Amino acid sequence: MRLEVLCEDRLGLTRELLDILASRNIDLRGIEIDISGIIYLNCPDSDFATFSELMTEIRRITGVKDVRKIQFMPMERHNTELISLLDNLPDCVLSINLKGEVDMANLSAISILNKPANEVINQPIAQLVPTFNFPRWIEGSKSRLRDHLVLEGLDYQLEVMPVYITGESKESTLAGAMMMLRPLKESSPFDDTQPLESLLGFEHFVGVSHRHKTLLNQAKKLAGLDQPLLIEGETGTGKEMLARACHQRSQRSEQPFLVVNCASMPDDVAETELFGRIPGKTEPGNKGIFELANGGTVFLDEIGEMSPHLQIKLLRFLQDGTFRRVGEEQEIHLDVRVIASTRHQLLALSDAGSFREDLYYRLNVLTLRIPPLRDRPSDIAPLLELFMSKHCLNLGIIRPEIDDTLLDHLTQYHWPGNMRQLDNMVLRALTEVQDDPLSIEHFHLPHNETSGSMSGPLVLDGSLDDIMKIYEHQVLDRLYQSFPSSRKLAKRLDVSHTSIANKLREYGIKKR
């Protein structure tokens, strides 16, 4: 029970109240004193007779005007209202103590950090937001800070505000900090009227897996640099989309973005197309793609197919930004960023002598590798939703229901054509579906590739650690569907629950 005692400001009155509670063996759980002449007591509930006697005895104290039962202590009500207010805010709010640990996190923070509350509260902020250096901030000016932050592949505005407490001496003491994260740009709905290849910004990239979010985090860091960027990935993984997004995020976004397909360009015209030609007696001159893209970005798709002669000229251009038009002696200097892509292992091509080693090392300064779809099966569900929304609008049909087993079949397929293959198969499936739910029969997956991901081709790209992570992901993803809780799966694999929970979160594995 909670009591509100209205009384005079008399020395010793509070002591007499406590003596009454002690004489009746009533535990005092909390006490609050208001300077306006109110004392609040928090005690365990008692039977009616004991309560009536207690109220009578309190009223007999000299200076007590009245006593009554209330529902909440003032601080209880204040804290409840504050927590309710914070939980209903759309922005992430974190309270950080002087040790750099999180004291409070609202529901938006729990959602954005993608962790259970017990893995956020009392945890160092350095583990949750690694890019924010709390010790440096608290040792510095401790002033209000605004900065840009990339978290889980999304852009946020970080705002840190110092929290001061003013004592009776009117001196302010730093008590901690309040951190807020606001999305820089709301994730806009997918524009179904645009083809997949025309999408520009990172906000259009869809995926929930740890590999996908890691890729976007790294791509956003590299997007604003001017050095050459190499994007590696299998056919259909979206290398051009990623290149366009990097260009769109850079300071060159208002300048041209020109694409060159090195595999389809005949060698006899490639040099002219890339670097231009001076006017001749019978032929007009023309500017090359690099000159047309001055100030912007040139995307060299499948650079592993480029001829040795062009590789020499490209190497010179990457070194100092200069080149010569065909038939011209004078050098031209341009400001162009080169982004290249390949589905091959350039180092292997270099060892075989078909790709210049010096050009490989010039390109391999900044590298992004797009993981194949088979290595991030948790991304198939959001991609399926995206492609269905796009094609249903283009076909003018109502979005069909999805069979309960469809997603399980799709995540077990190997997807040699990656996202492009999934996109095309969703379109074909939607043209065949009638009134029945969309099922695996509408996708016509090749029988020799529909077996589980564990029986797919051996993936040997990357280091031993990378290879082992691929198969660890596949083992956990497959077993998690049969043991759909981290504790059950931990018991099945005879490892700790914490280890399994961390692995499931790292790989973005969820129950299908």
Asked whether residue 64 is assigned to any structural domain, the reply reads: yes
- The model's pLDDT over 465-500, given as tens digits with 9 standing for 90+, comes to 777 888 888 888 888 877 778 887 887 787 887 888
The answer on 238 and 162 residing in a single domain is: no
What is the model's pLDDT at position 462?
Answer: 64
What is the model's pLDDT at position 512?
Answer: 61
Q: State the pLDDT confidence band at 300, using cuts at 50, 70 and 90.
A: very high
CA distance 43 to 31: 9
The SS3 assignment for 486 reads helix
For the cut 60, the answer to whether the pLDDT of residue 199 exceeds it is no
Which residue among 455, 472, 489 closes a domain?
A: 455
Report long-range pairs for 114-123 (Cβ below 8 Å, ≥24 apart): 114/152, 114/505, 115/505
The residues near 115 (Cβ < 8 Å, ≥ 6 apart) are 128, 505
Please state, in angstroms and as integers, the Cα–Cα distance from residue 199 to each residue in 190, 204, 217, 434, 463, following that order: 9, 7, 18, 30, 32
Asked whether residue 261 is assigned to any structural domain, the reply reads: yes
DSSP 71: S
The answer on 331 and 206 residing in a single domain is: yes
How does 121-143 read in b/e, with b if 16+ C-beta sit within 10 Å?
Answer: eebebeebbeebebeebbeeeee
The answer on 354 and 212 residing in a single domain is: yes
Which residue among 432, 455, 478 closes a domain?
A: 455
Asked whether residue 27 is assigned to any structural domain, the reply reads: yes
- If one counts every other C-beta atom within 10 angstroms of the C-beta of residue 46, the result is 14
The answer on 333 and 421 residing in a single domain is: no
- The model's pLDDT over 413-463, given as tens digits with 9 standing for 90+, comes to 889 899 999 999 999 999 998 888 999 999 988 754 444 445 455 556 667
Residue from 285, 278, 320, 317 nearest 300 by CA: 317
Q: What is the domain-level CATH number for residue 67? A: 3.30.70.260
Residue from 128, 53, 46 nearest 95 by CA: 128
The answer on 277 and 179 residing in a single domain is: no
Which residue among 127, 159, 183 closes a domain?
A: 183
The answer on 359 and 262 residing in a single domain is: yes
CA distance 90 to 183: 10
CA distance 2 to 75: 12
Domain tally, the chain: 5
Task: Please tell me which residue, 139 or 415, carries the higher pLDDT value.
Answer: 415
Structure tokens at 70: 């209330």
Q: What is the domain-level CATH number for residue 468? A: 1.10.10.60
DSSP 401: P
The answer on 401 and 290 residing in a single domain is: no
The answer on 361 and 388 residing in a single domain is: no
% of the chain beyond a pLDDT of 70:
91
Average pLDDT of span 148-164: 79
For the cut 80, the answer to whether the pLDDT of residue 50 exceeds it is yes
Residue from 357, 378, 231, 251 nearest 299 by CA: 231
Put simply, whether the predicted model's pTM sits higher than 0.75 gets the answer: no
Asked whether residue 188 is assigned to any structural domain, the reply reads: no
The answer on 175 and 98 residing in a single domain is: yes
Residue range(s) defining the domain that contains residue 391: 373-455
End-to-end CA distance of the chain: 47
For the cut 60, the answer to whether the pLDDT of residue 396 exceeds it is yes
For the cut 60, the answer to whether the pLDDT of residue 192 exceeds it is no
The answer on 419 and 331 residing in a single domain is: no
**What percent of the chain is helix, strand and coil (3-state, nearest 5)?**
45, 20, 35
Q: At what angle do helices 497-507 and 210-223 cross, to 10 degrees?
A: 50
Q: What is the CA radius of gyration of the chain?
A: 32
- If one counts every other C-beta atom within 10 angstroms of the C-beta of residue 159, the result is 17
